[in-house]
Structures are given as C-alpha cells and as structure tokens.
Chains A and B, each alone.
Chain A
C-alpha cells in the first residue's frame, strides 16, 4: 500500500536527484516542508495518518462531550467544556496540516462519514459515569501523549509543529483527568467504586490505542524509515504500561491484569495480551459505539450543510458587490 513510487510533481531536477535530496534530508533529521519534493507514498501515508489523527480528535469529542451538560460541579463543567473545545481546535489544525499536503478538509470529512477513513478505535467505547471523564484524561490522553510526543520530531514540518502545540494541551488534559480521579478517590466509597469500574473498562482498550503488535503492523517499517513514525507500537505500549503502573498505585486503583508484574531482568513490566480480535472487530466497525459515533458526525455534517452553503453564498455575493463597487 505504501509504495515508494515517485511522483513527477515538484520543480527543478530529475527524479533520482530529487529522491536523493529527500533521502538525505530524512537521514540528516531535517524537516520536509510543504513545497519540498516528496515521494508520493510519503505524501499519501502522511495524509492518511494526519487525517486519521484529525478525525480522532473530532470523534473523540463525543464520549466526553456527553458529560459537559451533566458535569457535577461548575468547575468540572468548565474544565471539560474547555477540554472538548481544545479537541475541536486540534482537529482544525491537523486538517490544516493535511491541507498543506494537498488534501481538502471537506473531502476528508466526507471520507470519514462514508467510513473510508478511520479514527482511533478507543472512541468506540461508551462513557458510563463521570469517572470515565477522569480515566479518559489519564489513560487516553496519556496514551495519546506517548504516541504523539515522538511525533513532535516527525520528518514532516507542519505535522511536527502541530504536534508540539497539541502535546502541550494534551498534557494539561491528562493532568486534569488524573486530578479528577485523585479528588474522587478522596470522596465517597461510591466514588471510589466508580473510578475502579472506569479503570477496569478503559485499561485494555487504552493498550490497544498503540495499534496491533509489531509483527502484525504492516505499514510500520516504511513509516519508521521515513521518520513519520519514531517508535514501534510495542515499544510505545511498553512505555505506557511502565509509566502508568506507579500512577495507579499512587491513585489507589488496581489495573485489571493478573499478569502485570515488574520484570527485573527486562527492566520493564510484563503484562497480559490485549484481545486483538476485539481490536480488529472495533476497527472494522463492530465496537460498542461505532454506529452511534458515525451517526452523530454524519448528522451534524448534514444538518450543517445549509449553514455552510449560506456562508459560501454570502461570500460570493460580497465578492460580486465588491467588484461592482470597484467598477462604479
């Protein structure tokens, strides 16, 4: 799927020369910028990855967005409202990064709602209590940070720069989530049970956020070579587990994995195997909330069509008026 077949696009120089320049730029850890020549496979892989990331931000607003109107204190309401708004902002600048590669936001949105492009499988799970808001911040934003911090060094300039800003905000979100859980754990017995229940439900799906195991991840090698991706799925997953275990201890919750234990020899935690069949089912559209998430996005898009058309029509009329004014 990711071929290195080169495009004739670009200016100056023959293709082998351009390819050589591109390879040297990657080798020197320099950034590729929008106007630089790049192999078509590199461009396609990036568009796919950035679009998927943008879609994830937008679909990811839904599970937590459900709780803004129900947040149990005004302070939590403000924090959550601001967080979900940040995700819309992240979606916006990621779509902009994709547009620097020649993609079009409206087209990418169509691909999403037609199911031709994916978003992170984690958002196909339901949010059943307010503790889920905290656990999503801790696990899901935490896993996103593990995935994304290395992407601040991605070889593609606009993506790398978008990631710097996004990671800063994600780290606030993660801290807010963890702080909510800390507060809940100091509250009533019922609240502590809510937190543990949410941890039980979100742990395994969070581990799946890093993607399939390395030996079953066909696109990874090329992306690593292009420095679009900087660490393998399994490396990132291990890092997430190692970092989360002490945080769980401090919080006073149990991670739902009987095989989880420190391995002195490896210097890492051993942990159980996620249910990869479940991941595949969710990716293929059969998770608990896939249909609901897509339906919401599709409805918002369709019901907003008349608004977008009105804005376009008004802008066109204004342009004509300005022209007439200039002539007169």
Chain B
C-alpha cells in the first residue's frame, strides 16, 4: 500500500550511508577547497584562531538550545533554534579545521567534549546565563554584530578553508543581527515593562563589551549598530564598563563549568561509545 512506503523502506539498504542524517551533511561548504595549510600561514596560530571562534559559537549555541520549549512564541522557538543551529554548524567546521592543521588529527568532538573549562577560549559574553528574553536578545545583537565584523574580515584570510567558513557564516550572522535588532526595537518601543527589561539588559551586557574589542577590534561596527538600534528603540546607549580578565586567556565566569558539565556529561560517561 502506497501509504506505507516511507515506513516500509526504513530497514532496507542504507548500509552504505550509516553516518547519514538529513540536514547535517549534504551541503559541504568546504567542497573543492584545498585543505593544505598555505605557505606563510602559521599552523599553530590558525588552529588557535579556529578553536577560539568555534568555542564562541558552541557555547552560544548551547545557550540558545536552552531556550527550546521555553520561548515566548512559536515563531521565536523556530528562529532561536535556527540561529543556534547556524552557530553549531560554524563550530563544527571550525573545530574540524583546527584538527586538520594543529597536527593532532582530532575530530570536532575531541574539542567540544574532552576539554575542560580552563581550556575553552570563548568570550564570557557567550557563557553568561540566558536571563530573560530581553537579555538573550541584546546579547545576541552584540554577539552577532561583533562576530559578523570579524567574519567579514576573515573572508579574506590566507587560509582558504577559514575564508570559506567565514563566507558561509557572514550570511548567517547578518540574519542573526537583523533578527535581534528587530526584537530590540520592538521591546524598547513596546510596553513600559519591555522597555525597562531591555534597558536593564543593555546595562548587563555592557561589562562584556571590552573583552570583545580586545579579542577583535570591531568597536566601530558594534557601536554603530547599537547606536542605530537603541535610537530606533528609544533606549539609552549602554555605558561602557569593562570587566578585568578575558575568556580568551581561559579566565571564565562561574557559569562556564556547569554549562560544559551538561554539554559533556553523556559523552564523558561513555568515552568508548560511538554515537
């Protein structure tokens, strides 16, 4: 019976594609790109840069995943998951590149699951808890604007693989920034409560800005976005108050270790397993 076609074929003949999964492998943005490290590029520096950028993306994706089943509306459920999936995809490509060039041949999971908090190099902005929707959205606006500026620069990187990853990421990050900007305007302009919460979120994000600009100086780009969005939202610009230390040197908040404990727990409980 034709109704049953989908189900009946389940157990038949997929032996050749045991690692198959829909939506997670068909489009290879690195297809046709030469993976050798070009002359004049320091492999160690390149690997560090890839891990750093991957850590930012993975930790952000983990926070976005926490919104699942908790978003204020179904449309936001879908959008936040989209953004989380984009960032998770970026992390996977970047970890894979790091493993190719750092001489260890490690796969993406070795970086994600078998390093401790002190070895992660993500900015602290990515790891602090989600807070309310206003905080998550303001954080996303800042993060996406900053990362977008960085990725735009990286599209001209001498490593063609990193340049290709960045080119794919630029399109994604432009959407993330747009989505967040629209929400900040809605929230700033919406009700007294949403305005108050968003104003507070901007204050809460401010201490983490300095670290971003030390890691990659996109101050002009990020400030320009914030100025434009806060003006449209009727919100004040956040006052800049840099925190000491940096996630880039392994100095994290107390929030990273529990985040990683959750992320890594199952994988570490079964180190011999294949998934």
Contact = CB atoms under 8 A, between A and B. Distances in A.
Given A61-B69, A85-B82, A306-B197, A74 B21 contact: no
A17 interface: no
Interface string A63-76: 00100111111111
Interface stretch (B73-81, B145-153, B159-167): B73-81
B11 interface: yes
B22 A178 contact: no
Interface in B166-190: 185-187, 189-190
Contact of B272 (A77, A150, A188): A188
Contacts of A260: none
Nearest to A306: B193
B266 A82 contact: no
Interface stretch (B30-38, B83-91, B223-231, B239-247): B83-91
Given A78-B89, A175-B10, A310-B186, A149 B194 contact: no
Contacts of B92: 74-75, 78
Interface in A223-260: 239, 243, 246-247, 250-251
B106 to A, nearest CB: 13
B183 to A, nearest CB: 8
Given A84-B68, A176-B22, A307-B187, A186 B7 contact: no
Contacts of A65: 68-69
A310 B275 contact: no
23 contacts: A72-B113, A74-B88, A79-B23, A88-B81, A145-B7, A149-B6, A178-B10, A179-B14, A179-B21, A183-B18, A188-B270, A188-B272, A190-B273, A239-B4, A247-B10, A297-B69, A303-B70, A304-B71, A304-B72, A306-B191, A307-B76, A310-B191, A313-B189
Contacts of B82: 85
Interface residues of B, number: 65
A136 interface: no
A82 B69 contact: no
A68 B3 contact: no
A73 B267 contact: yes
B112 interface: yes
B72 A92 contact: no
B9 to A, nearest CB: 9
Contacts of A188: 270, 272-273
Interface of B: 3-4, 6-8, 10-11, 14, 18-25, 58, 62, 65-66, 68-78, 81-82, 84-85, 88-89, 91-92, 95, 108-109, 112-113, 132-133, 185-187, 189-191, 193-194, 197, 262-263, 265-267, 270, 272-275
A246 B91 CA distance: 39
A78 to B, nearest CB: 5
Interface of A: 58, 61-62, 65, 68-79, 81-82, 84-85, 88-89, 91-92, 95, 130, 138, 142, 145-146, 149-150, 167, 171-172, 174-176, 178-180, 182-184, 186-188, 190-191, 239, 243, 246-247, 250-251, 296-297, 299-300, 303-314, 317
Contacts of A296: 69-70
Contacts of B66: 69
* 6 interchain residue pairs of minimum CB distance: A304-B72, A310-B190, A310-B194, A85-B81, A307-B72, A72-B267
A183 B275 contact: yes
A176 B21 contact: yes
A215 B272 CA distance: 50
A119 to B, nearest CB: 13
A81 B4 contact: no
Most chain B CB within 10 A, of A85, A95, A184, A296, is at A85
Contacts of B69: 61-62, 65, 84, 296-297, 300
B18 A311 contact: no
A308 B73 contact: yes
Contacts of B267: 72-73
A159 to B, nearest CB: 16
B8 A304 contact: no
Contact of B270 (A72, A138, A251, A311): A72
Nearest to A78: B24
Given A62-B69, A309-B194, A191 B273 contact: yes
Contacts of A78: 23-24, 85, 88-89, 92
